[in-house]
Structure 1
Amino acid sequence: MTGPMAVGKSTVAGKVAMSNDSVLLSFGDLVRAEAQQRDLSRDRATLQELGQELHTRWGPRGLSEALLQERRADVVIEGVRHLDVLEALHALMPDLVVVFLTAPPDVLDERWTARGATGARTAATIHGVESELDLLRNHASVIIDTAQISSDAAAQMITVAARATVAT
């Protein structure tokens, strides 16, 4: 699952995982754990830089394998930020259903502020780690506008899409 900041990825992914008895795997959690291990700050800028460093050092396959830790089924993956990582995940999990969540900029800005973020959302989105979102959207199996439906409805749509993929 991917999409811009403040679109609801973590919320929707958590609901999909819970309703399907799946394990939620988050690239953000992976980066935060690495930051904690290195005793780094967990502010957004530091995490973005660290995520980019891990992508460069481990490569897309290594980053994907670090997240999956041998799991290849019954997982919900949240926070994909690079097309080459998505491609590596597809190689490891051919039945992967790629979901892109979207919402209008004004809705994203409102959610950004509501979660207590400091500074403009647009300032955080100029980092290179956010630059491949359009490419990721183009590779999505499902695109959902989270401004138009509830997180529960989005989770149900994703569950239906995933089950349909497995059944074919």
Structure 2
Amino acid sequence: MTDIEQTNDIIETQVIEKNPDMIEVMKKQHVPDIRDFDRMNKDIKPQAKEGYEYKFGKNGWRQQKIITEEEKQVKGQQLKQAKQLKAQAVQQQDQSQDQSETIKDLQKQLKQISDQLFNKQKEDEVKQPIKIMKTKKQREVRVVDQRVNSILQNLGYSQIKIEEYSE
């Protein structure tokens, strides 16, 4: 016996000693518990509380709540609603994935277009001759011209015109 059962037995005996009439009252109120029965004995069915029933399974008797038709219908409706909500969530997730994919595609297209425009602009610059103006200080200009020419040729510019600058 556990401590709780022992204390319950002590309390019951004290109450009975003080009031002998309480034996009949306690017998009427007593609902047998599963501990009062051999759990694995299938022939002896325990008495259940109101709203519950005992069913025999592989582990012996077990208490189970009695489910009414109304509760079954409510649960069924709740399950249907849950399935609908789940389907809606999956649908929304698919739509958001589609939207993110289209956004990525649009970003790729935008990048391609900007690259094409940049390349076209670069080609147009190569086709147009570059005009470089000279100052009257010829020595400095020649050194600068050679450096600029080599830099521009490395960048891919082919036509370079050098014109005299007059003030």
TM-score with structure 1 length normalisation? 0.17
Larger radius of gyration: 2
Q: TM-score, normalised by structure 2?
A: 0.17
